[in-house]
Amino acid sequence: MSGAPQFIQTLSSQVAAGTLFNTYTTAKSVINQTELVPMPGNYLRVGSKLRVRAMFGLSNIVTTPGTVTFQVMMGSIVVWTSGAVQLSTTANVLLPVELEVNMRLDTIGTSTTAKFMAVGKIIGLPVQLGAGVANGTVTDSAITLPTTAPAVGTGFDSTISNILDFWTGFSISNSGNGIQIYDYTVEQLIF
């Protein structure tokens, strides 16, 4: 480790599998409440880097499966979103998926001044690039998120205490569209 910064401070690490969430559309927290990350006011500085990793089971229905959206939240503010990710047209039940989001704080300040720039990567059979696509026959799909040009997220107040959280929402409410978090970590890059 010669001079290269490393993600070496774990701010949160899930210790037990979470609840299976299904039959909903409005995005909500899918993390065990004990694993939420409290971020004290003025804790972050410009250039602060966080890595959010989630490993989970994802289920989807076969007929018009719709989309799923992943969000990193600061309190009730969406600081990063995957955008709508197309679900496979093959019915899946809790197939393993990995999501990693690398975030850099671009600005700090009050009101809605603080903003993260972030890019994610998702790997798993239930997620597809393009509508109407079935599970791949050889390997999982890997998609960089969002599938549009990256931009800073919605602004938040970095001078007050915030809770870092992970939310998901489905475009179609069905008991066959669901998510269960198996492992979740938030790490901070230390320079």
Q: What is the pLDDT of residues 158-186, one digit of tens each?
A: 999 999 999 999 999 999 999 999 999 99
Separation between Cα atoms, residue 116 and residue 155, nearest integer Å: 8
Is 118 exposed, middle or buried (CB count within 10 Å of its CB: 0-12, 13-18, 19+)? buried
Q: Is residue 35 part of a domain?
A: yes
Mean pLDDT value of segment 8-22: 92
Q: Is residue 86 part of a domain?
A: yes
**Residues spanned by the domain of 35:** 6-190
Separation between Cα atoms, residue 71 and residue 178, nearest integer Å: 15
- Coil, helix or strand for 87? strand
User: Is the pTM value of this prediction over 0.85?
Assistant: yes
Mean pLDDT value of segment 95-102: 96
Q: Is residue 160 part of a domain?
A: yes
Closest CA to 64 of 82, 92, 84, 88: 88
Strands 178-190 and 127-128: unpaired
What is the predicted pLDDT for the residue at 150?
87
For residues 143-153, one letter each, b for 16 or more C-beta atoms within 10 angstroms of the residue's C-beta and e for the rest, the string is bebbeeeeebb
Separation between Cα atoms, residue 174 and residue 164, nearest integer Å: 27
Q: Is residue 78 part of a domain?
A: yes
Residue 35 phi/psi, 5-degree rounding, is -100, 5
Least confident range of 49-58, 97-106, 121-130: 121-130
Separation between Cα atoms, residue 74 and residue 167, nearest integer Å: 11
Q: Is residue 1 part of a domain?
A: no
% of the chain at pLDDT higher than 90: 74
Tokens 């690398």 appear where? Answer: 102
Task: Please count the structural domains in the chain.
Answer: 1
Residue 37 tokens read as: 């990350």
Contact 3, 131 (CB under 8 A): no
